[in-house]
Each structure stands twice: as C-alpha cells, then as structure tokens.
Amino acid sequence: MARLYAGLSFDEAVQRYAKTVYTACVVRLSGNAEVDDCVQNTFVKLFRKSPDFHDENHLKAWLLRVAINECRKAQRLSRRVVSLEVLSSSPQPQSSGTAAEDINDMSWALMRLTPKYREVLYLYYFEDYKVDEIAEILGSKSGTVKSLLSRGRQKLRELYGGDDA
C-alpha cells in the first residue's frame, strides 16, 4: 500500500507543492542549481522520513520549513556570494497595472532584499501565513517576525521611492 501524506500520494504532494517549495527556495537562493538541489532534497526528505501530518496545511508548513532549512544549509556550504550591486544593476520592470505584472514587480523588489526580509515577506504576502505561523516555520519568535516584516516593508518603500523613504 502506498504511503499517504495528509491524504495525498507522494506524487500528488509533489505536484501540489513543488511550485510553492521552488518559489520559497528562489526567494532564499540565487543560483538555479542550488534551488533545484534544495527542492529535490526537500521532497527526498518527505519520502524518506514519511512523517504523519494532521492535514494539508501541516504538510505545506513542514515542506516550507524543510526547504528553508535546506537553503540555509546550501548557503553555509557555498562559498560563493552574489553581490547586491549585481542584483541592483538589472533594470526595474515597468508595470502597466495588471495583477501578473504587479507580482513580477514585487518579485523584482523582493530579490533586492536580504534573505531574512525576503523570507518573511514572501511567506506573509505570497503564502498568506500569519505572523505566528511564520515564526513556527522559521523557528524564531513572533516579535522577530513582526520586526522583520516592518523593516522589510520599509526597505520595499525605499526601493519604490515611497512617501516614507
């Protein structure tokens, strides 16, 4: 009998959450090979460990936590550092106001922030997690997450040249 993960087969879990895990890794890492490795390692851990999940939200949170930990491990192992000047040298996309372009514009801005701000902003705005849930996923305190969200928002305003900059 096939192992189920919150009622999903392994293949269904991969299909349903691969994009979410991939995006979480892209937010944290700069290289495509590193991202692919971390995504693969995340699903290998799911398969090998076969933890019990209460529901799909628990599965998704577990996958995100493992993915973020895999990214941190990859960053520790990698001696390669991408300069923020290199990232900021690419031109800012011009948005015409459609939802897809606004998301691309936000993605451009997020990639110019340091990973600690990118993570919390991504989980909060793109994955719709609450502060307490983000704290649990990242293994930090709620107050830390609130501070990172606040500072990250300020940095985004500065990037966009907002009123508070």
pLDDT of residue 86: 41
Query: How many DSSP H helices and E strands does the chain contain?
Result: 8, 0
- Output the pTM of the full model: 0.65
Where are the alpha helices (H) located in 6-98, listed in sequence order? Answer: 10-28, 32-49, 56-77, 84-88
The answer as to whether 141 is a domain residue is yes
Same domain, 52 and 129: no
pLDDT of residue 45: 95
Same domain, 71 and 121: no
Same domain, 107 and 146: yes
Per-residue pLDDT tens listing for the chain (165 residues): 578 888 899 999 999 999 999 999 998 887 788 899 999 999 999 999 988 898 999 999 999 999 999 998 888 776 544 444 444 444 444 444 554 444 455 667 777 888 889 889 988 988 889 999 999 988 899 999 999 999 999 988 887 766 544
Cβ contacts of 19 within 8 Å, gap of 6 or more: none
pLDDT of residue 89: 44
pLDDT of residue 75: 82
Domain boundary among 32, 57, 82: 82
Consecutive H or E run containing 108: helix 99-110
